[in-house]
Amino acid sequence: MNYLSNLGLRAPNYDKSPSVPVPPAHAAALDCGWEPIGARIREVASARPNALIAVECYPGVDVDAVAAALAPAIGTTSVFDTRRAHKPTAAIEAMAAPFLGGCDPVFGFLCQTLNMPDFFDAGHIVQEMRCLRAAPAGPRLIIGPGAFVAAPEADIKVYADMPRWEGQLRQRRGEADNLGTRNRGLKASLQYKRSFFLDWRVADRLKTATMEKWDFLLDTTTHDQPKLITGAAHLAALSTAAHRPFRLVPFFDPGPWGGQWMREICDLPDGPPNYAWCFDCVPEENSLLLAFAGGVKVEIPALNLVLRHPRELLGDPVFGRFGPEFPIRFDFLDTMGGGNLSFQVHPNVAFAQRHFGIPYTQDESYYILDVAEGAEVYLGCVNGIRPEEMLADLRAAAAGRKSFDADRFAARFPARKHDHFLIPSGTLHCSGTNSMVLEISATPYIFTFKLWDWDRLGLDGKPRPVNIQRGAEVIRWDRDATYARKHLINRFQDLGKGEGWREERTGLHPAEFIETRRHWFTGAVPHHTGGLRDGSVNVLNLVEGTEAVVESPDGAFEPFPVHYAETFVVPAAVGPYTVRPSGKTDKELATLKASVRAHAPV
């Protein structure tokens, strides 16, 4: 199918590598390749006899590869790998166990108490540092997770960083260990769970506490393309991003139900049989690209922005409620020419707090970007079903004794372009085949209780795990077809209009903290984040039209172009902004905007 022509697009214009410009004063402050990187560090170290160079490594960074390349580049054989000073494996496993929930791929408890020093034997660190200081004259290198803990007095501090998505890919390939252990080869889902609940939390606390003190940031995202920038350039770029619209680097991933729409619309390479997901706005795991002089781009975790400028990015009310966490997620679910998503349910807030240590849950919605024949959404349960019968059939299907008859138990509704299906936690749901979904949700997406997966295998050739027992604890059986039709589908409300634009509320459900507004426009639409003190970060997607331009009424930032299906973020600190078509048009464009509600909707 030619999805481009169906949408009136002549060619793909989706930007897969959006970037944030580095301020001119810092635009040349980088080095690419190990030899130039080594030369830069040697130059700085030369003013300090026997300089101690500490390279802190985010979980997932290949410490062995970085050390093997960096040590000769800076001209030293005096190297302390912090992993040598870890506590014994049994002690670390015992320390981590309360947060990991056993072998379940989903269940764990968010770690708020452990910090990087807890993973190390303090006496061993003292011994290793004594040996390092006694080494022959010249620079000394300490490298690995916890380097800043072992050497807080280091002369040069380098942070070796990479986005969490790259870490997950390395886990899938068996190339990464979890913090404090050598466990590459462990099932990737369990490595990911350990990262989510433990490793990233510990590392982020150290990152936040030390970011101002970094002399350099080392981009290790691509093994053979290291890039070094000054800590000052990194901070300046983050400050720029916190005060202007920006986009994250989208990540596309195949899946057993995936489709073909994104391959064509987003101009993706052949290779995977399909593309199921696009994580287009998940700052906890996506990247930011920083644009330096000469077109060179440095990839850093977008999370650095959240940790460094949470107030400017989120707004005081949102920061006060969630802390330095980005609570809104936009992503794509592509079943065009693919299959149904898994039949699933998400836990409510009380369940998430009690079992996961998370203060909110994955309420979500499906906004339909595009459809083909037969598109539908499963939402809620059929009126009058007996819960025990459905659960018994699900258990029988999971045991392989029968196939689950979803149509007998799950309510189905046709899906049309620009429909909006609201999915508060506890609601049975899944998108059917031949839909292109813009999923808008709260961020903690690890918590999906799959109930049925249509008798299919995962990409690894094994059955995908289901969680019927825990799903049964949170299903809202009162959310049946009648409830869904009345409360969860196309709850559109006209809010106002102006010259060349009109505004609608599209949801979400009163139980959800996200507010969504749709604007149809042929002219400039006035928007306002509400400001730093009273407002919320805005997340938008151009759901209709080829190209639009985001502008500041007072010229606070350069005009920012966006293209069809691109998600972009407007920090709360921006305040007023406009969105208009990039050229003269009589055809309406549309954006869908999400923010965090300050009050219940009227």
Q: Hey, CA dihedral for 455, 261, 504, 281, is it positive or negative?
A: positive
Rounded to whole angstroms, the Cα distance separating 449 from 471 reads 5
Q: Return the pLDDT at 1.
A: 66
Q: Which residue has the higher pLDDT, 294 or 460?
A: 294
Q: How confident is the model at residue 283 (pLDDT cuts 50, 70, 90)?
A: very high
Alpha-helical regions (H) of 158-272: 164-172, 188-194, 200-210, 231-241, 261-265
d(CA 106, CA 371): 31
Task: Catalogue all structural domains in the chain, each as residue range(s) with its CATH number.
Answer: 34-225 (3.40.50.300), 251-297+314-487 (2.60.120.10), 492-596 (2.60.120.10)
Report the pLDDT averaged over residues 264-269. 96
Which pLDDT score, from 0 to 100, does residue 104 have? 78
Percent of the chain clearing pLDDT 90 (strictly above)? 84
Question: Among all chains, which residue has been given the structure tokens 């990262």?
Answer: 195
**Torsion from C-alpha of 153, 154, 158, 159, nearest 10 degrees:** -40
pLDDT, tens only, 341-387: 999 999 988 888 888 888 777 789 999 999 999 999 999 999 999 99
Dihedral class, residue 467 (left if φ above 0, else alpha if ψ from -120 to 50, else beta): beta
Q: Nearest-CA neighbor of 193 among 101, 116, 90, 256?
A: 101
Task: Please return the burial class of 33, using the count of CB atoms within 10 Å of its CB with bins 0-12, 13-18 and 19+.
Answer: middle
Q: Which of 91-100, 128-137, 591-600 has the lowest mean pLDDT?
A: 591-600
pLDDT in tens, 424-482: 999 999 999 999 999 998 876 577 899 999 988 776 777 777 889 999 999 999 999 99
pLDDT in tens, 399-425: 989 999 999 999 999 999 999 999 999
Reference 377, options 406, 334, 411, 338; nearest CA is 411
| The predicted structure's pLDDT at residue 599 | 56
Assigned token pair, 521: 């426009």
Residue 360 has what pLDDT?
Answer: 75
Per residue in 11-41, pLDDT (tens digit) is 899 999 999 999 999 988 899 999 999 999 9
CA–CA–CA angle 150, 307, 300 (5° rounding): 80
* Portion of the chain with pLDDT greater than 70, in percent: 98
* pLDDT tens digits, 319-344: 999 999 999 999 999 999 999 999 99
Mean pLDDT throughout 193-204?
A: 96
For residues 184 and 177, what is the distance between their CA atoms, to the nearest angstrom?
5
If you average pLDDT over every residue of the chain, what do you get? 94
The pLDDT tens digits of the residues spanning 552-598 come to 999 999 999 999 999 999 999 999 999 999 988 889 999 999 999 97
pLDDT band at 73 (very low <50, low <70, confident <90, very high): very high
What's the whole-number mean pLDDT along residues 153-169?
A: 97
Give per-residue burial for 389-407: e unless 16+ CB within 10 Å, then b: ebbebbbebbeeeeebebe
Tell me what the mean pLDDT of segment 525-541 comes to: 97
What's the pLDDT at 601?
A: 38
d(CA 72, CA 38): 8
Distance CA(363)–CA(379), nearest Å, equals: 14
Alpha helices (H) along 75-161: 89-96, 122-133, 147-150
State the pTM of this model: 0.95
Confidence class of residue 497 from pLDDT cuts 50, 70 and 90?
very high
What is the structure's pLDDT at 602? 32
